Amino acid sequence: MTATASDADRGRVTSALRTIVRTPVYLAFIALVLIALVGPLFVRDPLELGVGPTLAPPSRDLWFGTDQFGMDIFARVVHAARLDLGVAFVAAGIAVVIGMPLGALAAYRGGAFDTFLLRVAESFQAFPTLLLAMGIVAALGPSIPNLILIIAAVNIPVYLRLTRSAVLPLVQSDFVLAARCAGQGDSKILRRHVLPNVSEVIVAQFSVNCAWAIQILAALSFIGLGVRLPTPEWGAMVRGGADYITYGQWWVALFPGLAIVFTILTLNQLAERVRSST
């Protein structure tokens, strides 16, 4: 590109950086990602027993206290961020990769193909998400890859329908007509002209979906169908600590619970922000 164009690019990057620094939700999101990526390098081994006395309250040395096995809750919450966010991200990613093209194709092709896909998606969505997930876990068994696939599967219909409804008006638009008149093929039109125009909705939905995925994973672990202790996972940790709340040892369940709340709030707010920024 020319010199003027790269100047313009640099200006765009600077103003984008400024927006990020001034928006708390972007900072919160970046913090989350950093904790998940590099946080585990700076904390204790989450499976190390007897770090302190069992069920020690939060102190200067052990910020979040210890659990019933004497493991460092802070280290476990940080490690769990990697697992929870990772599962959520991969699961939502798989759901996008499958759901989005199907939805776009349904809208573009129309007819019986469209009706068929829509009915399949609706019959999946007729079941409460968690119930559906519980059913599949019970059938397949609770391994991490299985959990990822299950969470992805229950989210595919969401992307399919969302993309379909966003693509429908575009299919009739003049620029798609113009692209067809210029002799471009259907798949190229879908990839180059249609999908980039719906990316904003998809990105927003992706963020919401990651939040859902964490919720589903935590809920499954909480009822004992997901990740099992001692693997550090927020939902499982809340489950493990729930019994001690009544004895006054609130910290075991509270901190992983707060981590879930903070993550879901951040991801939902991020989606809101993306949707309203354009």
Partner 1 sequence: MSGDRFVGAPQQLGSSRALDPRQDLLRVRDLSVYIGRGGETAVMPLQGVDLDVHRGSRVGLVGESGSGKSLTAAAILGMLPARAETVTGSIRLLGEEIVGATERRLQRLRGSHVAIMFQNPKASLNPVLTVGGQIAEVIRVHEDVSRRESRQRAIDLLDQMGIPDAKRRAGDYVHQYSGGMAQRAALAMALSCRPDLLIADEPTSGLDATLQQQVLELVVEQVERRGASLLLITHDIGIVEQTCDQVAVLYAGRVMESGTAAAVLSSPANPYTRELLRAYRSVEPRRMNTIPGTVPALHGVLDACPFAERCPDAVPECSDRLPLLQERDDRRVACIRV
Number of residues that bind partner 1 (CB under 8 A): 23
How many other CB atoms are there within 10 angstroms of residue 15's CB atom?
10
Q: Does 184 bind partner 1 (CB under 8 A)?
A: yes
The minimum distance between CB 278 and partner 1, in angstroms, equals 10
Q: Does 180 bind partner 1 (CB under 8 A)?
A: yes
Q: Does 192 bind partner 1 (CB under 8 A)?
A: yes
Q: Does 71 bind partner 1 (CB under 8 A)?
A: no
The minimum distance between CB 277 and partner 1, in angstroms, equals 15
SS (H, E, C) the chain: CCHHHHHHHHHHHHHHHHHHHHCHHHHHHHHHHHHHHHHHHHCCCCCCCCCCCCCCCCCCCCCCCECCCCCEHHHHHHHHHHHHHHHHHHHHHHHHHHHHHHHHHHHHHCHHHHHHHHHHHHHHHCCCHHHHHHHHHHHHCCCHHHHHHHHHHHHHHHHHHHHHHHHHHHHCCHHHHHHHHCCCCHHHHHHHHHHHHHHHHHHHHHHHHHHHHHHHHHHHHHCCCCCCCCCCCHHHHHHHHHHHHCCCCCHHHHHHHHHHHHHHHHHHHHHHHHHHHC
Binding flags for partner 1, 86-115, as an x/- string (CB under 8 A): ------------------------x-----
The minimum distance between CB 173 and partner 1, in angstroms, equals 7
The minimum distance between CB 191 and partner 1, in angstroms, equals 11
Q: Does 246 bind partner 1 (CB under 8 A)?
A: no
Q: Does 196 bind partner 1 (CB under 8 A)?
A: yes
Pair 207, 33: CB distance under 8 Å: no
Binding flags for partner 1, 156-175, as an x/- string (CB under 8 A): -----------------xxx
Q: Does 178 bind partner 1 (CB under 8 A)?
A: yes
* Cβ distance to partner 1 smaller for residue 13 or 265: 13
Q: Does 4 bind partner 1 (CB under 8 A)?
A: yes
Stretch that binds partner 1, among 113-121, 152-160, 181-189, 239-247 (CB under 8 A): 181-189
The minimum distance between CB 203 and partner 1, in angstroms, equals 13
Q: Which residues bind partner 1 (CB under 8 A)?
A: 1-2, 4-5, 110, 173-175, 177-185, 188, 192-193, 196-197, 199
